[in-house]
Amino acid sequence: MEYVLTFNQPAAVYEVHADPVKGPQSLQAWKTYMDAVVAAGVMRGGNRLAPMSATTVRVRDGKRQVQDGPFAETKDLLGGYIVIDVPTLDDALEWAARSPSSLTGNTEVRPVMTM
């Protein structure tokens, strides 16, 4: 079964990742994690998302409202996602627990519905 793992971390973590001196070392945990997911053969896709960049669209009373910036009801920012294919939810939760984002923010696990 396929699951989407979304990686959410505080803005301060993304600032460290972007730092030219501290960034490469701070991203090493992500490289190790992603290498493990790929080596296990469960990775189906995914991408890193542009930091601090989002546009939210709502339609209220027939009028479109557009708001810049990531304005989720959380202090953690969505930094990326992957799609994995594993036998059970427990397996997906194990991969989520291994994610660096689970140490500083959270990793959300969602099953993919087939159409």
> What is the overall mean pLDDT for the chain?
89
pLDDT at 53 over 80: no
Task: Name which of 30, 41, 38, 40 is nearest 79 in CA terms.
Answer: 30
pTM for the predicted model, two decimal places: 0.84
Please say whether the beta carbons of 105 and 8 come within 8 A.
Answer: yes
- Structure tokens of 115? 């159409």
Task: Name which of 4, 6, 23, 18 is nearest 77 in CA terms.
Answer: 6
Q: Structural domain boundaries of the chain?
A: 2-111
Domain 2-111: which topology?
Alpha-Beta Plaits (3.30.70)
pLDDT confidence of residue 27: 94
pLDDT at 72 over 60: no
pLDDT digits (tens, 9 = 90+) for 86-106: 999 999 999 999 999 999 899
Please state, in angstroms and as integers, the Cα–Cα distance from residue 113 to each residue in 3, 25, 47, 73, 110, following that order: 9, 37, 20, 25, 9
